[in-house]
Structure 1
Amino acid sequence: MNPILDSIDSVVTAISGVLYMPWVPLLLLASGLVFTFRSKFVQLRLLGESFRVVSEKPKTKGSISSFGALMVSTASRVGTGNIVGVSTAICMGGYGAVFWMWVTALLGGASAFVESTLAQIYKRRNKDGSSYGGPSYYMESGLRQRWLGVIFAIIIILTYAVGYNMLASYNLQSAFAGFSFYDAGKTPAVIGVILAVLFAACVLGGATRLTKITGFLVPIMGVLYVLVALVVVIMNIKLVPSVFGNIFASAFDFKAIFGGFAGSCLMEGVKRGLYSNEAGMGSAPNAAATADVSHPVKQGLVQMLSVFIDTLLICSATALMCLCSGVVPTKELAGAPYVQASLQSALGNFGPIFIAVSMALFAFTTLIGNYFYCEGCLRFIFKRTPSHAFMTVFRIIAAVIILLGAMISMNLAWDTADLFQGLMVVINVPVILILGRPAMAALKDYMAQRKEGKNPEFKAASIQLKSETDFWN
């Protein structure tokens, strides 16, 4: 690595170490438990209801539906982390990392419900009647702390435009490392240029195209990927019992976990689970606030569903596909190489090609979904939509960052993403714990109306909120 980049990585790793030992895992797991019990296991109890409301049409024709907002947040969640993130977790933390990814998602479903419900409660109105919002807005309206909202908005931009987009770019180019044409000195730059140009062409065309692009690509790539993973698992069905046995045995090997906590299955599972499903980070609420629904709880349920789609379905597909292939995970194979070796073992030369194509689709939708969050944060910081000239410059810089991401090292790419996502957690989780009451009250109101056979409609006064909301008075 370049000496300058090596120094940067050392600083990033040191700060990240302080955040993750033990604050990020502690906050995620504790908040997930708190909201799970306060909501009476909403992520399990109302899972069927979440499937029902996701198909509802928006109240106003032309507005963003629950499904549209779900696709934007899923575009960011469902990305290279579902392939490379899972592989890295297994190779670095062992079989047990899969279990702790499941735990992070299961408990995170409750946190995702709360943060997205809050985003709906405190969302703002555009002149055309549409809505926008997110954590910065519930920090401003619910906590009366605009300064905290500004800081959080800046960190979201750093996380998504820098940390996550550099990592997505790096992960994509690394998927081609096993091909004969790959030249470590040239290929990353070429792939970075192609990806940056495609990204720029999309975002310079305007943010209104984002939901159409992601809505088309995300379901297709997700279904194809899960089907191929299912084929590999069926081909190796005899190994499934031993794979699950290893996952649970490794997950509860507490001597190994606490003997080397930084690289343990628990830490890797939490880190990569968070990178993949983003529950509790405060990212998805930015998309959730744009949905046109009759009750905030509806979008909370929809965004909760996104966490399960991401981790319990797609991440599990990757994990089982790799672990059932018979290829032993090692630290040297961490990242795309382990997934490609696993698929090649099962499907021959088709495997690496399929992964490269999947990574291309996953990376592109990730980049677009990530960028969506940045525009909303800029609007909050400036209290208005930034000028066309400013946004053009910002979009070009975002494209250049994608180019640079393809050319940095694996350690710097992952460490930067870990640092910024950790900062989001340590700000957002305490906030939603403090503001949990309105979300729980809204859930109670929703269930009361459902029991009466109504299609729930929300009024802020019903949970003792008045001037704090822009939509529900």
Structure 2
Amino acid sequence: MNETMTKIIDAITAGNNAVNGVVWGTFGIALLFIAGIVMTVVNKGFQFAHIGHWFKKTIGAIFKDKKITAHTEKENKAISQFQSLCTALAATIGTGNIVGVASAIVLGGPGSIFWMWIMAIFGMMTNYSENVLGIFFRRKGEKGEWRGGAMYYLKDGLGGYKGLKWLGVTLAILFSIFCLLASFGIGNMSQVNSIAGNMTSAFNVPSWVTGIALVILSSIVILGGLKRVASVTEKLVPFMAVLYIIGALIVICVHGSSIPAAFGSIFKGAFCLKSATGGVVGYTLQLAITWGFKRGAFSNEAGLGSSVMVHSSSNVKEPVRQGMWGIFEVFADTIIVCTLTALVILTSGLVDLETGHMVTENVKSALVGEAFGTVFGKVGPMFIAVAILLFAYSTVLGWSHYGTTAWCYLFGEKTAVIYKIVFIVMIFFGCTMSLDLAWDLSDTFNGLMMIPNLIGVLALCPLVAKITKNYVDRRLHGLDVKPMLSAFEDVQAEEEKDLDSEE
């Protein structure tokens, strides 16, 4: 590895503060991985055993079941299942799918992509479990909209265990505080800073101009509430995803002869199947696993308890139905989009596929831009600039709802407009200031959300297993048993009346 790359790694390593190291070090990675395995086991490998069913009820249903995409009436504050997916994907499909994947390959080698897949496979069931609990413990807010998220199943779920009410309430408050702070960092300033930087480098647009434009656009959408955010994301997410996937597939197909070697490099790098001393192999394997798990977790956010806040706003009746959308969310984000980014980089000749070492000095989005440039020429970096614009802006919209939910939980719904205004103002500052520290702080708070959330998910895993079994018995085995739809009797009774229209 050349001297420049070494300096880059040293700078990134030095930038991680102590708290971030604890959260995303061995403990954080282990907790995420263990949670994914536990939820897979207690739910009997749902993502494998019923893969055909959840595909049919998610992406397959979009083209067959109009109820999935149908908008609710104006007075109904709930959003459709497809809108909830798009809003969740808007927040998860972001710069992590471009910058995150490139960073993983630079710092952990091609093998990190394999471990990103592993994290995603088990993360599917973590995200599933979060969404099941989110629907089961959600309540309607003052204006009639659904409110759900980790704070609700921590307070009413974990807090429902004998003698643990204080713990549930405390963790719910901590989660909300961490979510609120993360929304300004990873969900706002870090994203718009990436937009501004790429617009300047690709199109020579001054950062302050980008900032003003984003503030105006965001004001129109965010101040309109969740239904307006969802209305925008259901159009933006499919467009940006299809656009990026087509562009990536063109690059990969042009370099099609390198695809087998690229996959070979991923698998060899994942287990360090190359000649080296034991110490080097151990360190290289550690880097591959660490960066694969880190970037996988940040890309799809499974285990952080973030996307459940918008999934809980869906008009769905069955907790498991929304849980399956959570599985698909992780699949689309990591298995599809992140894998395509990785193959674009690996097949473009920018990585020595035998050694896993970088051939170029470019990193992050510039690395992906260079890879696209091997096919599209000067248009390549411009294409990535536009992709980051769409990806990052959609992330801002999604996280605006997460932050609003956390704010409302802490301070009440009547003050939500205060948060939204502050959030919009921070967009301008995010475009015009250096954010190295903000990246570290946002990583930390984003990671800190994980701890109370996963405590709740693991503590409530028997309940998730019971709800899943109830669904499988009724829907797949045809047994006549009472559905488990809500932890609250009034909501259970109301949802049961309309359950038949769900299928």
Normalised by the length of structure 2, the TM-score is 0.83
CA drift of 1:138 comes to 0.3
**Any unmatched runs of 5+ in structure 1?**
1-8
| Residue range with higher mean Cα deviation, 407-416 or 106-115 | 407-416
CA distance change for structure 1 residues 53 and 348 in 2, over 3 Å: closer, same or farther? same
Equivalence for 1:4: none
Aligned positions of 1:44-443 closer than 5 A: 44-54=48-58, 55=61, 56=65, 57=67, 61-62=72-73, 63-126=78-141, 130-144=145-159, 145-176=168-199, 178-179=201-202, 181=204, 187-253=206-272, 255-256=279-280, 258-259=282-283, 264-328=287-351, 329=358, 332-382=361-411, 384-387=412-415, 391-409=416-434, 411-443=436-468
The one-letter code sitting in structure 1 at the alignment partner of 2:45 is: F
Secondary structure of the equivalent of 1:25? Answer: helix
Distance 1:275 1:121 in 2: 25
In 2, distance between residues paired with 1:456 and 1:221? 42
Please state how far the C-alpha of 1:299 moved relative to its aligned partner: 0.4
Letter aligned with residue 403 of structure 1:
F
Cα distance in 1, alignment partners of residues 14 and 431 from structure 2: 20
Deviation per CA, 1:115-160, whole angstroms, max 9, x where unpaired? 1101011010246754221110001101222222111111111112
SS at the partner of 1:406? helix
Secondary structure, aligned partner of 1:279? coil
User: How far did 1:309 drift?
Assistant: 0.4
- Return 407-416 or 103-112, whichever deviates more: 407-416
Q: How big is the shift at 1:44?
A: 2.1
1:340–1:355 CA contact under 8 A, matched in 2:
yes
My pick for the range that moved more, 403-412 or 31-40, is 403-412
Which segment is superposed worse, 202-211 or 60-69? 60-69
Contact 1:159 1:420 in 2 (8 A): yes
Q: d(CA) in 2 for partners of 1:258 and 1:202?
A: 49
Distance 1:135 1:443, change over 3 A: same
Greater shift after overlay, 225-234 or 245-254? 245-254
Instruction: Answer yes or no: is the 8 Å Cα contact 1:121–1:469 preserved in 2.
Output: no
Report which stretch shifted further, 435-444 or 129-138: 129-138
User: In structure 1, how many angstroms separate the alpha carbons of the residues matched to 2:282 and 2:448?
Assistant: 24
The residue matched to 1:443 in structure 2 has which SS? helix
Q: Which amino acid is 2:270 matched to?
A: A
Shift of 1:60: 9.8
Query: Would you say the 8 A contact 2:219–2:424 is kept in 1?
Result: yes
Please report how far the alpha carbon of residue 303 of structure 1 lies from its aligned counterpart in structure 2 after TM superposition: 1.2
User: Which residue identity does 1:419 align to in structure 2?
Assistant: T
SS at match of 1:175: helix
- The one-letter code matched in structure 1 to 2:139 is R
1:47-81 deviations in Å (ceiling 9; x for gaps): 32223333352699534222121111111011121
Provide the rounded CA distance (Å) in 2 between the counterparts of 1:455 and 1:377. 38
Rounded to whole Å, the distance in 2 between the matches of 1:19 and 1:257 is 25
Q: Could you tell me the percent identity over the aligned residues?
A: 32
TM-score (norm 1): 0.88
SS in structure 1 at match of 2:388: helix
Letter in 1 for 2:41: F
Matched residue count: 451
The alpha-carbon deviation at position 165 of structure 1 amounts to 1.5
| Structure 1 stretch displaced more, 169-178 or 244-253 | 169-178
Amino acid at match of 2:318: H
Residue 166 of structure 1 deviates from its aligned partner by: 1.7
Q: Give secondary structure in 2 for the equivalent of 1:471.
A: helix
**Which moved further from structure 2: 291-300 or 327-336?**
327-336
Match of residue 9 from structure 2: none
1:395 maps to a residue whose letter is: K
**Contact 1:282/1:424, CA 8 A, preserved across alignment:** yes
Question: Structure 1, residues 195-228: CA drift from partner, whole Å, max 9, x if none?
Answer: 2332233223333311000001000110111111
Change (3 A) 1:216 1:60: closer
The answer to whether the Cα contact below 8 Å between 2:181 and 2:442 also exists between their aligned partners in 1 is: no
Instruction: State how far apart, in whole Å, the 1-side matches of 2:212 and 2:279 are.
Output: 46
Moved more, 396-405 or 434-443: 396-405
Kept after mapping to 2: 8 A contact 1:84/1:171? no
Deviation at residue 420 of structure 1 after TM alignment? 1.5
Residues 336, 125 of structure 1: alpha-carbon distance in 2 compared, 3 angstrom cutoff: same
Tell me how far 1:470 sits from its aligned partner: 5.4
CA distance in structure 1 between the aligned counterparts of 2:295 and 2:359, rounded to whole angstroms: 17
AA partner of residue 130 (structure 2): E
Q: Name the amino acid aligned to 1:393.
A: I
Tell me how far apart the structure 2 counterparts of residues 380 and 400 of structure 1 sit (CA, whole Å): 22
CA contact (8 A) 2:105 2:113 kept: yes
Partners of 2:158 and 2:379 lie apart in 1 by 53
Letter in 1 for 2:49: R
CA distance in 2, matches of 1:154, 1:131: 20
Contact 1:172–1:359 (8 Å) recurs in 2: yes
Whichever residue aligns with residue 104 of structure 1, its letter is M
RMSD: 2.6
Cα distance, 1:304 vs. partner? 1.1
Paired amino acid for 2:413? T
Instruction: Check whether the contact 1:405–1:413 (CA below 8 A) recurs between aligned residues.
Output: no
Q: Give the Cα–Cα distance (whole angstroms) in 2 for the partners of residues 101 and 376 of structure 1.
A: 29
Render the CA deviation track for 1:256-285: whole Å, top value 9, x for unaligned.
4753788x1222212211111000110111
Determine helix, strand or coil for the equivalent of 2:90: helix
Q: Please give the secondary structure, in 1, of the residue aligned with 2:492.
A: coil
